[in-house]
Structure 1
Amino acid sequence: MSVTALRRATRDTVSGLPREFWWLWTSTLVNRLGAFVATFMALYLTLDRGYSASYAGLVAALHGLGGVVSSLGAGVMADRFGRRPTMLAAQVSTAVSVAVLGFMVHPVAIAAVAFFVGMSSNASRPAVQAMIADIVPAKDRVRAFSLNYWAINLGFAVSSAGAGFIAEYSYRAGFVAEAVMTLFCAVVVFLKVPESRPEKAASPTTAAGAPGVPDADGVRLATVLRDGRFMGVVGLSFVIALIFQQGYVGLPVAMGTDGFSSSDFGTAIAVNGVLIVVLQIPVTRLIQHRDPRRLLIVSSLLAGYGFGLTAFAGSVAVYALTICVWTVAEIVNAPVQNGLVVQLSPAHGRGRYQGMYTLSWAAAALVAPLLSGVVIDHFGAGWLWGMCAVLGTAAAFGYWLLMRNLPQAGMTVESGQGSVEVTGTGTSTAPATSSPPPRTV
């Protein structure tokens, strides 16, 4: 691709999105640039504090459990109180708890605060995803989610290197730096990001007795749980997340068992971050108007068999090659699956639906370390990679079953009440204009 073509592709990818989205994108990038706790918690506890690996694993599990607990509650808050207040509460709580964690000494106190850090840091995700869906038109949502995912990975790639240098000087300085940057995110949201939650819909019957839109309060967690197609997507998301998590829990253990060093793993896994930063924008341009059904099926197969190929790896180069395969799956799957979740979510229940979706990833982050450890210890790493291939195949078949009759996202049809948007469960009863555009800043 020529430089001119690359510039054109980049311009087409980033143009046309609302200003509010870019402030939200900036907040996400800064948040990930300050990531320290999730990356260096284990090293901090074992090397700096002198605790055992078992205790470090317990704290990591509690951090993940906090994310599981907050997912649904944060989704309800985003719908009931608004996206912006939920993000602000989560970010301020994260800043305070991360700063406190850096000064904790007693093991019980460290574990308790780590749980709260996991809970507060995960609480903003359903609100962020719901806000993107609120402010970005349906035709641009895959592109917007892809750019947000790119910001997450770019920030993580930079922060991992920078945090390593900070850790050599002082782990506590890393905690404080993350707290400051998270607080800065809250300031950006407070000053530049307006509330985007759609106004409450009309009652089921208007004054004239004509049918109207079901009230927003009709969307409960029970409503989400009864949505069979959506819960199927959540289940498949959990399976896909289990596969991708193995790149950070199963892969380093397997490489260590094969005699490779931690620097070898670092070299190999760096390919993941580099590819996402380099390829996310051009791949987004390629996939944004393609059939999401095929993209999810193909990405599931690439993820499963990308990890399956790891069973044949015997060198760092081959490990890196397998990482290339499942990284392409990750680049495609993340924005398309986010777009599918929005497509299946009613506008007034996006927070609850996004909370349930976030729960699938948080639960996978909690289960994946236990699963990989048991399989590798009792059967060997080869069985783990074979299991990933089976799970990827099962997920691809599951997406094919669930999406056979799913209308294309973003389509509009004419009805007696005007233009309405087609959602994953059929035609929305809400007029397409029922949700006003976000207020300008």
Structure 2
Amino acid sequence: MNPIFSIYRNAFSGLSTPAWMLALVMLINRTGAMVLPFLSIYLTEVLHFTVQQVGFTLSLFGLGSMCGSFLGGWLTDKLGHFRVQVMSLLGSGVCFFLLLPLKTFVAFAPGMFFLSLIAECLRPANAASVSFYTSGANITRAFSLNRMAVNLGFSIGPVLGGLLATFSYQWLFLADGFSSLAAGLFFYFYFRHRQGHAPTTKTTTDTAPIRNSPYRDQKYVLYAVLSGCFGIIFFQFFSNLPLYYRQVYELPRTNIGLLFALNGFVVFSLEMILVYLLGPRFKLAHLISIGTLLVGFSFIILNWFQGVWMLYLSMFLLSVAEILAMPFMATVPVQRSDTSNRGAYMGLFNLSYSVAFVVGPYLGSSIITHFGFPVLWGFTATLATITSLGFWMLVPKMEKAQEPERVTG
């Protein structure tokens, strides 16, 4: 036990107190994340939407996220990451309450757009905060700590959500709203007297060339496109995988909550230690590419084997893939930017995920409607293979062109 304890201690050591507090904010926020895992089921079983209406609603949610990522990155550079995070957390909490009386497709779908528009402003601002309060040598571990907090919350939220949904789905919206408000208030009172309230001024570093706009950085734009392809695959996890559990295996809501909780628990338990052990030993391109390939594999095996046990194995593999890919993917925009445009770079990175959330749910639901779930899982595996090759070839060229001090700690 001593060597294992020592590895975990070293993995968490050296991170600043504000970095831990940012992670705590995300934990509070994500513990109440109950709506999204059950949204497709709520829309089909309670509001009686068709599968394509569900896909369109989730795509509108993604469109709001896309606009929110762009807006959040721009506001972070203009107003500072503190103000943007406060507005996003408190505003999204109110939006969850406002969604409760909306029962028709015409009303609910736009409501999801505005919810995600406000909520997604948090991501680029929070990423800018993490990099602001963390030394360069610890940046990947700081992002992993943040994701670990998100996944710990996500291992709790769906389980509670599955239990609450057996009484009423309205409790899910209330819990999500109150957790967002609680996270916003905690963040405000802890960080209100700290730095980060004002937009950063442009500075020049010796290790990274200044790029005023990420949209003029051609390699980074291509990286964002590949990240979007990864997101199209991964976001089947939120949109169409719950429908698969419900319609093909007829799982009760509590079991679906447990499957989502498994993802959160695996990532929470293993991410920091794997980032600490693998980061210094392997190249970014290799970790990101293998993680991307494994995401596709976690879906395609649903076509090869049957049984509830396969659902748990698939979720475990998906969780490991998430660990291998996503924390290292978030490191690239930090390496590629400076303090004056980091919000914009993180905004474009998150924008790629938001575009994926526009395309992925509707594309997936359309494939399901016309061809069925097996074709969807085959499509995700094919796209994962192509995207993995893209990362394998592109990321080394980005590192070679920039030649920064590589972040692995």
Q: Please give the TM-score of this superposition, normalised by the length of structure 2.
A: 0.86
Aligned to 1:276: 267
Aligned to 2:186: 188
Aligned to 2:163: 165
Deviation at 1:138, TM superposition (A): 1.7
CA RMSD of aligned residues (A): 3.0
Pick from 236, 239, 248 the counterpart of residue 229 of structure 2. 239
Gap change, CA 1:402 and 1:379, over 3 Å in 2? same
Deviation at 1:279, TM superposition (A): 1.7
Q: Gaps spanning 5+ residues in structure 2: where? A: none
Structural mapping, 1:328-343, within 5 Å: 328-343=320-335
Please say which structure displays the higher CA radius of gyration.
1
Aligned to 2:249: 260
Q: Of Structure 1 and Structure 2, which has the larger fraction of its residues in helix?
A: 2
What amino acid is aligned across from residue 239 of structure 2 in structure 1? V
What amino acid is aligned across from residue 263 of structure 2 in structure 1? N
What amino acid is aligned across from residue 303 of structure 2 in structure 1? A
Aligned to 2:402: 425
Q: Distance in 1 between matches of 2:342 and 2:153?
A: 26
Q: How many residues align?
A: 397
Identical aligned pairs, as a percentage?
A: 28
Gap change, CA 1:319 and 1:337, over 3 Å in 2? same
Q: Distance in 2 between matches of 1:407 and 1:332?
A: 19
Instruction: Give CA-to-partner distance per residue, 1:86-131, whole Å, 9 cap, x none.
Output: 1111112112222222244666443433221111111111100111
Deviation at 1:362, TM superposition (A): 1.4
Structural mapping, 1:93-104, within 5 Å: 93-104=91-102
Checking the alignment, whether the CA contact within 8 Å between 1:198 and 1:347 is kept in structure 2 is no
Deviation at 1:139, TM superposition (A): 1.5
Aligned to 1:225: 215
Pick from 34, 47, 52 the counterpart of residue 49 of structure 2. 52
Aligned to 1:112: 110
Q: SS of the residue aligned with 1:262?
A: coil
Gap change, CA 1:304 and 1:7, over 3 Å in 2? same
Deviation at 1:248, TM superposition (A): 3.5
Deviation at 1:201, TM superposition (A): 3.2
Which structure is richer in relative contact order (CA contacts within 8 A, separation 6 or more)? 2
Q: Distance in 2 between matches of 1:185 and 1:271?
A: 23
Q: Distance in 2 between matches of 1:321 and 1:177?
A: 29
Aligned to 1:417: none
Aligned to 1:311: 303
Q: Distance in 1 between matches of 2:71 and 2:345?
A: 11
Q: Distance in 1 between matches of 2:257 and 2:325?
A: 24
Structural mapping, 1:30-429, within 5 Å: 30-45=28-43, 47=45, 50-53=47-50, 56-104=54-102, 108-193=106-191, 194-196=194-196, 199-201=200-202, 219=212, 223-254=213-244, 259-263=248-252, 268-290=259-281, 291-407=283-399, 425-426=402-403
Q: Compare 307-316 and 140-149 and name the one that shifted more.
A: 307-316
Q: Distance in 1 between matches of 2:136 and 2:312?
A: 36
What amino acid is aligned across from residue 311 of structure 1 in structure 2? N
Gap change, CA 1:228 and 1:252, over 3 Å in 2? same
Deviation at 1:287, TM superposition (A): 1.9
Q: Gaps spanning 5+ residues in structure 1: where? A: 204-210, 409-423, 429-441
Checking the alignment, whether the CA contact within 8 Å between 2:66 and 2:355 is kept in structure 1 is yes
What amino acid is aligned across from residue 119 of structure 1 in structure 2? L
Gap change, CA 1:172 and 1:266, over 3 Å in 2? closer
Q: Distance in 2 between matches of 1:242 and 1:151?
A: 23
Checking the alignment, whether the CA contact within 8 Å between 1:254 and 1:376 is kept in structure 2 is no
Deviation at 1:177, TM superposition (A): 3.2
Checking the alignment, whether the CA contact within 8 Å between 2:69 and 2:348 is kept in structure 1 is yes
Q: SS of the residue aligned with 1:356?
A: helix
Q: SS of the residue aligned with 1:307?
A: helix
Deviation at 1:427, TM superposition (A): 5.7
What amino acid is aligned across from residue 295 of structure 2 in structure 1? A
Checking the alignment, whether the CA contact within 8 Å between 2:159 and 2:257 is kept in structure 1 is no
